Structure 1
Amino acid sequence: MNAMRRAVAALTATAALLLAGCSSGGPSEGPPEGGRSPAPREREASGIRGITLPAWNTDDYSRPEAAAYLRQIAATGAGWVTFTPTWYQDRATDPAMRVTDETAGDDSLRHIIGLAHEAGLKTMIKPHVDLVEGGDRAEIRPADPGAWFGAYTRFLTHYARLAADTGAEQFSVGTELAGTSRDGTRWREVVAAVRKVYRGPLTYAANYDEYRRIPFWDALDVIGIDAYWPLGDRATTDAGRLREAWKPITDELAAFSARHHRKILFTEAGYVSQRGTTTAPYSWTVSEKAATDEQAAAYEALLAALDGKEWWAGVCWWMWDDWPDTGETAKRLAYTPHGKPAEKVLRKWWGK
């Protein structure tokens, strides 16, 4: 969602485990030669109740608000928090990504992981790559794939080492990189490089319209999907209707999970508090009219529709509050459930 956020900025300005676990036996030995992982008996995720806390600037994760945000997240009943250090490319065809002043600093990331553990939260590091001028990261299609994947491996193993050093409980090897994710051979090499430095569960966060085309799920422990399926063509506060809209989706996901012998984690899911949010959950700008009741109905429908599904590993909601003075969408319209009826839905389902 960071790429979409930046796209909106350009337009408007210009995941064993707490109370269920992400791994039944903790991190295990690396995979066989070639990067393929066996059916992940020791690294099987389930019951993840997570919320994402993104960073938009170098020092966000070390700001005074960090500890308060984590306490608020834990108070919903969440057991997990996801962090998203992001590097950037100037163009979709560039051969490498780089740090900018919008990249969370390593020290700040270490700091907030420590705070999360102190708050009783488990952590997933989910590195992102975005475009400097905004746009969809799925558009990234490097002119020199070999150079790009070499740079991407260096980028990713940097954070994998940081995850290992800080005890982060899960790691994502990519997010919504549909322009590259069909290259199974190179992605398997990326996964194998990560496994050399990080022994915990691995996932990849495929967009909801991308996951069927990923050829390397067997190299990972958990299937990750950013679950922004539209649930209808008109605004509604009818959670029952929305739950019915999930039925064909969950039927398809159950079959997909069975074929791949992996559970499915919603590495992202979320809804802005705007009228019509379920018609385009991936959009930051569905409407200028606030509709916290529609957001709450969407939260209720997702949790009700997925509750008890054996193949479902849980959800990492997008997202908690923006940092002060960094939000490009007013809080009353934004993805955050904080202080809205959707937060009450979380507390109901998550037990607090």
Structure 2
Amino acid sequence: MGQDYIAGMTWGWTGVRGTWTGPAADRSMDLMVERLATTSTALTFAAYQDTAQSTEIHFSRSPTVTDDEVRAAIARAKSLGLAVCLKPVVNCTDGTWRAHINVFDPDVPCEPTWAQWFASYTEFIVHYARIAEESGAEMLCIGCEMVQTDRREEEAGCPSRAGSEHLPNDWTLPGAADQDAQNAWYEAAFAATSRRPWVGGFMLWDWPAGLADEADAASDRDYCMFGKRAEHTVREHFTARTSS
């Protein structure tokens, strides 16, 4: 099991142009490996369409990371011995959650169509598939929370805030910073999945390209476990599963 288990962490979200290379990004990825004993990473970034009903994905524009940044991040990860999953994600510029990307079905005259949207999405995903292949990435992830498009994968993670252990996918949940809540969720998740042999690992959410000051970890309410109790829980689990 050790060699097959995916001890993975999502890195770099949302992939803002200019943040994936340089000392801060290198330090972030180094610490991800050092602190969490990761063996894999999902390099994850967003490209944008204007609204949930738009049919053009502007993947070559800012703020999306450049192709050179993507190649550099893959090379950096592989130099650290990590298996790489490249994960291009579609977001909406107006802030609408990507799960609501949708158009009429069947087509309505003079309105956006699924054929138009999928033509743009195909261009987008094939572009990054080629980069992934050329750069030696082991995996390509297609789709993320795109509920409406999927009718025609998943990360796991929990913020460090009170109540999030009961609703970990709600990043807007109010609540004070609470490392114990985050850690309890990870302990429960690892205990439950360890009893299920068909669970082959995780790409946990998430580890940014620019880390906050570790001294502020106790007051941080976000998903990243840098400097928090859950960091040690993740490391212990990944180490145990990849060395067994």
Same fold (TM over 0.5): yes
Quick one: distance in 1 between partners of 2:22 and 2:116? 35
C-alpha spacing 1:50/1:350, structure 2 compared with 1 (3 Å): same
**SS state of the match for residue 143, structure 2?**
strand
Alignment of 1:163 with 2:132, yes or no, is: yes
Match runs of 1:159-238 below 5 Å: 159-183=128-152, 224=153, 226=154
Q: Structure 2: how far apart are the matches of 1:92 and 1:69?
A: 32
1:324 positional shift: 5.8
> Does residue 345 of structure 1 match 2:226?
no
- C-alpha displacement of 1:310: 2.1
| Equivalent position SS for 1:318 | strand
Give unpaired runs (5+ residues) of structure 2. Answer: 104-111
| RMSD (CA atoms) | 1.9
**Counterpart position of 1:89:** 49
Residue 73 of structure 2 corresponds to: 112
What amino acid sits opposite 2:3 in the alignment? A
**Aligned AA for 1:60?**
T
Aligned position for 1:51: 9
Q: One-letter code of the match for 2:225? A: P
Q: Is 1:270 aligned to residue 239 of structure 2?
A: no
Report the CA distance between 1:146 and its aligned residue: 0.5
Paired position in structure 2 for 1:306:
193
Q: After TM superposition, where is structure 1 displaced by more than 6 Å over at least 4 residues in a row?
A: none
Whole-angstrom distance in 2 between the partners of 1:103 and 1:154: 16
Q: Secondary structure at the match of 2:141?
A: strand
Mapped to 2, the partners of 1:321 and 1:128 lie a distance apart of 15
Task: Report the residue type matching 2:126 in the other structure.
Answer: T
Give, as a single letter, the amino acid of the residue that structure 2 aligns with 1:52: T
- The unaligned stretches of length 5 or more in structure 1 are 1-15, 22-46, 184-223, 227-267
Question: Which stretch of structure 1 is more off in the superposition, 336-345 or 79-88?
Answer: 79-88
Q: Which has the higher contact order (CA 8 A, sep 6+)?
A: 2
- Aligned counterpart, 1:63: 22
Please say if 1:138 is aligned against 2:96.
Answer: no
Q: Work out whether 1:294 is the aligned partner of 2:169.
A: no
Cα deviations by residue, 1:124-143 (Å, 9 ceiling, x for unpaired): 01110011021210100133
Q: Is the 1:293–1:341 Cα contact (8 Å) retained in structure 2? A: yes
The answer to whether the 8 Å contact 1:55/1:61 transfers is no
Equivalent pairs: percent with the same residue? 31
Equivalent pairs counted in the alignment come to 224
The CA deviation at 1:289 is 0.6
Separation in 1 of the partners of 2:141 and 2:208?
22
Structure 1 124/160 Cα, relative in aligned 2: closer, same or farther at 3 Å? Answer: same
> Counterpart amino acid of 1:173?
I
TM-score, reference length from structure 2 = 0.86
Q: How far does residue 293 in structure 1 lie from its aligned partner after superposition?
A: 0.6
- What is the CA-CA distance between 1:151 and the residue it aligns to? 0.8
TM-score with structure 1 setting the length = 0.60
